[in-house]
Structure 1
C-alpha cells in the first residue's frame, strides 16, 4: 500500500557533551507518524546545517559524518521499500526496529504455504492424493493473486493476518474469482490449515480465525429411483466403451463406492468371506476407512471373472 516516507537528521542541542559536540538524531516519518533514534554520530552545533541536514566545513571528521549519514539514509530507504513489498502495512516504528536489528523475525504466509505444499507433494501416493495437492496449490494461487490485487505485495507476515484479512479474502474469492459459497468455504478451510500449522509451530500466538466461521451450505444432490436405475441397466449403447461406463456407474450405485474407489479396485479386492459369498474388501481413498461390502445380487461377481476392474 502507498505511504509517505521521510528521514530527517537533527541535533540534540539540549545535551551538549564535554567536547562541545551534540548528538545527531534521526527521525523517521511514515504517513505523518514519526519516531526517533540515535545515529551515534556527533558534531559541533556551529558546524551543523539545519536546512541541509548535514555537517558543514571541509574537515575530514565532518566529511566522514556526512558520508555515514548518507549510508544510514540509504539503509533506511532499503528497509522501508522491502517492508512495503513484504508486509501488509508499514510504520515508522517498524522501520526503525528493523534498521536497528531489533525487529521480530518475519515468517510469511506464502513462504509457509509453499513449504507445506512441497511436503504434501512428497506424500502423494503415500498418505496424500494428487487431488488434495491440487486443491492446496489452487488455494495458494488465489492467496498470491489476492495479495497482489489488494495490497500490491508478493507476501505478508503471518503476524499481520487478522479477521479483516480473512474476510477480505473471502469476499475476493466470491467476487473476483467468482467462486460459489461451498467452493469458497473449501478454500478457506485449506487457508485455515496453514494458519493452524503456523500456530502449532509457534509462529502465531493468537488465532485470526477465532471469530470467523466457515459455512458450508447443505446441497440436495438428488437420487435415482429403482425405475431409473432399471432403465439405465436395460439401455443399449452404440459402443462397448459406453457400455463399460454404464456398468461402472451402476456398480457404484449398488456398492456406494465413489468413482476413485471403483477405479482403484482390482481382482484382489474381491474375496470370498466367512459366509461363502463374494465381498469387496478395500479402503476409501478419501478417508482411508476400511470397506467390507457384499457384492450386489443384481450385479454378481463370479470367481471366474479374470479382468481386473482397474
Structure 2
C-alpha cells in the first residue's frame, strides 16, 4: 500500500539569492494535498541532486546539509505519528504548523471549567448565588474524579469529550458517586453548559451533547402536616439556638420564602397596603422575581419576638438567621424532639407553605405562584400537593350535591 505521507526537499531561488545558490524548501504531501515551508538554509546548486533530493558528494557541506534535512524529515514523521496516536485530524498543513510551532492552542476541559467558575465567583450577588457556584465546583470535582477513575490523567483536551464520555460520566455519577437520578442529571446539565461555551468559542467543531437527551424522574417532596406544624409551634425548647431555628423555620412555613430570602429580608421589604395590612414584598435572590405575600399572624408574631435582638436593632435584617448549614443541622434535633420522622431541611418549609398552608386550604394555585415568586405555573405545580384531607372535603361536597339531586327525584 502506497504511503499517504511524503516529504520532499527542493531548492527555490529568490530575488535576494545569488545566481549560484538557492534556499532549500520542504514540501509535505499528505493524501495528495501539499504544504511547503522554507528551511532557511541555502545550498550551492552545483552540489544539489534533484533526483535524490539531497546534496551529492562527501564534502563537509554536503554531509552537513544532508544531516540537517534528515533531522527535519524525522521530526515531520514524528509529528505524523503523534497525530495518529492521539487520533487527531491529519493534514499536510497540520503537520507543518505543529513542526513550526504554530500548532493551534489545545483547550483543556478542566481549565475551561475553572475559568467559568472563577468568572461566576466574581459575579456572586450580581446574577449568581453561592449555591450555584457550589454546584459547578462540585461538578468539576466529579469530572476530575471521573478522569482519575478512567485513568485519563488530570485533564483532557475538550475535543476529546464525546457522547461516550458523557454517558460514561452519567453512569459513574450514579454507580460510583451514588447520586440519585435527578442529581446526576443536574450535574450533566452543568457539564453541558461548559461544553456549549467551548462550542460557541469554536474550540470544538461538534457539540457532543447534540444526541444527548436528559430525563427527569418525578419525586415526592416532603412537607409538614397541620398537626406537625402545631406540634412544633407549641413545643417549648430549653436550648435558645433550637428555639431560634424553630421560629425561623415556622416563619418560612407561613411565608413561603426560601432560606436565602429570609436571611436578606429587611424592614424595607415589609410594607402596609391601603387596607392597613402588612405584606412582604421582596425580590427572590435566586430569580430576581417579585414575591408578594400577606403577612399572617404567626410570622408577624415571630418578627415582633425578635424586634429587640441585636442583629435586628443593628439593621442587619428583620430576623437573626443562622447559616443554612447550622440551621439544617439543628432542624434534625428539632425533628427528634418533636417526634417528626421526616427529614427536616430549611427548604422543606417552602414545600409546606405551598401544600399545607395554602393549596390544601383552597388558595388558587395562581395566587400561590405569585407568593412564591414563580414566573411559570409549571414551577408552582412541582410544589403543589393535594392532601388527602382536601380530597375528603371535596368528596363530601360532591356527596352532599348527590343527596340534593336524589331528593329532587
Interval containing the TM-score (normalised by the shorter chain)? 0.7 to 0.9
- Report 1:153-302 matches (<5 A): 153-301=153-301
CA–CA distance in 1 between the matches of 2:7 and 2:297?
94
Tell me whether 175-184 or 230-239 shows the greater mean CA deviation.
175-184
**Structure 1 residue runs of 4+, over 4 Å off?**
9-12, 23-28, 35-48, 55-58, 74-81, 90-95, 100-105, 301-304
CA–CA distance in 1 between the matches of 2:224 and 2:86?
51
Report the RMSD for the aligned CA atoms in angstroms: 4.2
How far off its partner does 1:206 sit? Answer: 3.8
Tell me whether 264-273 or 194-203 shows the greater mean CA deviation.
194-203
CA–CA distance in 2 between the matches of 1:137 and 1:229?
36
CA–CA distance in 1 between the matches of 2:124 and 2:7?
62
CA–CA distance in 1 between the matches of 2:52 and 2:211?
59
Give the aligned partner of residue 63 of structure 2.
62
SS at match of 1:281: strand
CA–CA distance in 2 between the matches of 1:185 and 1:136?
13
* Gap runs ≥5 in structure 1: 1-8, 16-22, 29-34, 49-54
How far off its partner does 1:127 sit? Answer: 1.5
Confirm or deny: 8 A CA contact 2:282 2:290 kept in the other structure: yes
> Which of 297, 319, 322 is equivalent to 1:309?
319
* Cα distance change of structure 1 residues 120 and 142 upon mapping to structure 2, 3 Å threshold: same
* Cα distance change of structure 1 residues 24 and 265 upon mapping to structure 2, 3 Å threshold: closer
How far off its partner does 1:27 sit? Answer: 9.8
CA–CA distance in 1 between the matches of 2:142 and 2:132?
16
How far off its partner does 1:279 sit? Answer: 1.1
SS at match of 2:297: coil
What TM-score do you get using the length of structure 1 for normalisation?
A: 0.73
The total of aligned residue pairs comes to 285
Tell me whether 241-250 or 140-149 shows the greater mean CA deviation.
140-149
CA–CA distance in 2 between the matches of 1:215 and 1:269?
39
- Report 1:108-147 matches (<5 A): 108-147=108-147
* Gap runs ≥5 in structure 2: 11-24, 40-47, 313-317, 321-409
More helix by share: 2
CA–CA distance in 2 between the matches of 1:47 and 1:263?
79
CA–CA distance in 2 between the matches of 1:176 and 1:205?
31
* Cα distance change of structure 1 residues 264 and 45 upon mapping to structure 2, 3 Å threshold: same
- Report 1:66-105 matches (<5 A): 66-71=67-72, 73-74=74-75, 77=78, 89-90=87-88, 93=91, 96=95, 98-99=97-98
What TM-score do you get using the length of structure 2 for normalisation?
A: 0.57
SS at match of 1:292: strand
SS at match of 1:255: coil
CA–CA distance in 2 between the matches of 1:76 and 1:289?
61
Once the two structures are superposed, residues 31-71 of structure 1 have per-residue CA deviations (whole angstroms, 9 ceiling, x without a partner) of xxxx99889887677899xxxxxx99563223232234335
